[in-house]
Amino acid sequence: MSLISRLGFKPIKKETISVPKEITAKDISIVIPVKDNQNGITNFFNIFETILTQDTNIKEVIIVDNLSKSPIKIYKKYNFNIQLITCNIPGPAAARNKGVSFSTGKWILFLDSDCIPTKNTILGYLSNNNSHVAYAGNIKTTSSNKLSKYYETQEILIPPETIENEIIRPDYLVTANCLVYKNAFNSIKGFDEKFKQAGGEDIDLGFRLLSIGSIAYQWNSTVLHNFDDGIKGFIKRFDRYGKGNKQLSHKHMLNLTPRPFLPINKTPINMILALLQFLFMSKGYHLNYITKP
């Protein structure tokens, strides 16, 4: 989730956790929460199988079915390890926490059920010179329609840059594509399950990880995000993000009140979408916020 900048947030540094210098594919467990998106999971498996190589043969893929109306199924055997588990606590924060509890890898790659892997999704994270507790990967769209291109040009799922000690880093993480060191994740007790919606929980995780180590961009790892849920999905997404931002504002004592803005590409359709984004972020922030942390 994008849409907020640092706005005065300063992590309180604690003792820095030590991290392994090397990251291999066998160190990585993928965790994907899902609710009512069988097609997305099946599509992910089918594509991931075609791009998997000896160099990208990860530890496992853990699918967490989070209260789907029709239980998620795995329809065939794939040439990589899969665990399918269920989580009966609402929200992707709880689902991801449960997925991590079943994982056996040193690193957790968080993806969404509407993401499509590419050949460099895993390769981009492999390193012999690691010094960070987490990485924010690159996220592009699957479609070239105007709505999808708006998401991409506005970098809705790319964390904004901030500068710390003269080094550019992401301000937080977005769980559509991020890699987190499991020991660091466990050290901060994972996602805050008080975030019941998909929005805000990943920013909060990034903020707290910054207290025990550094995070960095990893542009070499790319996933494709499917935004083909139309204008209805657009409205629901930003309403949800507004609610998440309100919860973040309470927890971290930040002023995240949505403000009007101009889109990067100032076309007529983008101007309308930017207005809608602001309006529904505001609605979620001011009207739909119910659960306080």
The residues near 272 (Cβ < 8 Å, ≥ 6 apart) are none
Q: With 0.85 as the threshold, say if the pTM is over it.
A: yes
Give the distance, in angstroms, between the CA of residue 112 and the centroid of all CA atoms in the same chain: 7
Q: What is the pLDDT along the chain (293 residues), one digit of tens a residue?
A: 444 444 456 788 888 899 999 999 999 999 999 999 999 999 999 999 999 999 999 999 999 999 999 999 999 999 999 999 999 999 999 999 999 999 999 999 999 999 999 999 999 999 999 999 999 999 999 998 999 999 999 999 999 999 888 899 999 999 999 999 999 999 999 999 999 999 999 999 999 999 999 999 999 999 999 998 999 999 999 999 999 999 999 999 999 999 999 999 999 999 999 999 999 999 999 986 554 44
Query: What is the distance between the alpha carbons of residues 206 and 178, in angstroms, rounded to a whole number?
Result: 10
Distance in angstroms (rounded) separating the CA atoms of residues 153 and 111: 20
Residue with tokens 């009140």: 257
Half-sphere exposure of 273 (CA within 13 A, CB side): 24
The amino acid occupying position 57 is N
Looking at residue 13, what is its pLDDT? Answer: 82
From first CA to last CA, the distance across the chain in angstroms is 19
Determine contact, residues 48/80, Cβ cutoff 8 Å: yes
**Domains of the chain with bracketed CATH:** 25-229 (3.90.550.10)
pLDDT of residue 197: 92
Q: What pLDDT, on a 0 to 100 scale, did the predictor assign at position 287?
A: 87
* pLDDT score recorded for residue 165: 85
60 DSSP β-pair partners: 29
- CA dist., res. 159 & res. 214, Å (int): 14
Q: What is the dihedral of CA 104, 106, 110, 113, to 10 degrees?
A: -30
Model pLDDT, residue 5: 45
